[in-house]
């Protein structure tokens, strides 16, 4: 019987890099002129994988989010894995926003990816959902490379990473 090759498809962000980006953003906010005299907060909750932003008004909230995105981009944190909701009021003329970091492929996204995979009809390639990741297996390395190219070309709403290639 032919040897079965496989790889895993996952997603996630490096929480240490996110922590570094949040700390850099805090330093920049403390020094920027347009934030002088304002009460803007930026907090990372590692257990919940969320970032809480709070600002005086919508303008400062947008500037705060822009600074955070800029720092995350420089630290190579994929912005596709951030779930950014709309501003919500948190008091008189205050705004807050809680950004969620995607850690693992959600079951809905996994089902969409598997459905698109099946519509492509790759020969002798299997894809299985395993918790918050996908396992792709085949006897042919070329087929696995084709699947990787297909997954990279698609827009799934998250940044996919490939690992455990064996």
CATH code for position 75: 3.30.70.990
In this structure, the answer to whether residues 87 and 122 fall within a common structural domain is no
Among candidate residues 77, 101, 125, the one where a domain is terminated: 101
**Do 20 and 85 share a domain, yes or no?**
yes
78 shares a domain with 40: yes
Together in a domain, 50 and 81: yes
pLDDT of residue 1: 43
Q: Indicate if 47 and 114 belong to the same structural domain.
A: no
Do the bridges between strand 95-101 and strand 41-45 make them parallel or antiparallel, or are there none, so unpaired?
A: unpaired
Q: Which of 101, 117, 133 is the last residue of a domain?
A: 101
Full-model pTM: 0.79
pLDDT in tens, 26-42: 999 988 888 888 888 89
Same domain for 75 and 119, yes or no, is: no
Look up the domain containing 58 and give its range.
15-101
Q: Average of pLDDT values for 140-155? A: 84
Give the confidence band of 67 by pLDDT, cuts at 50, 70, 90. Answer: very high
Same domain, 20 and 97: yes
CATH value at residue 113: 3.30.70.860
How many domains is the chain built from?
2
Same domain, 76 and 95: yes
């Amino acid at each position: 019987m032919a040897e079965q090759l496989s790889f895993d498809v996952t997603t996630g962000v490096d929480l240490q890099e996110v922590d570094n980006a949040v700390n850099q953003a805090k330093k920049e906010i403390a020094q920027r002129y347009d934030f002088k005299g304002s009460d803007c907060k930026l907090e990372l909750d590692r257990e919940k994988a969320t970032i809480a932003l709070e600002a005086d008004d919508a303008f400062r909230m947008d500037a705060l989010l822009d600074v955070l995105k800029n720092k995350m981009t420089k630290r190579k944190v994929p912005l596709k894995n951030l779930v950014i909701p709309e501003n919500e009021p948190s008091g008189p003329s205050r705004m807050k926003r809680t950004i969620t970091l995607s850690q693992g492929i959600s079951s809905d996204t996994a089902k969409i990816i598997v459905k698109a995979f099946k519509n492509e009809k790759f020969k002798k390639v299997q894809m299985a959902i395993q918790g918050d990741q996908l396992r792709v297996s085949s006897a042919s390395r070329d087929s696995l490379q084709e699947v990787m190219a297909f997954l990279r070309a698609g827009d799934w709403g998250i940044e996919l990473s490939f690992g455990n290639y064996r």
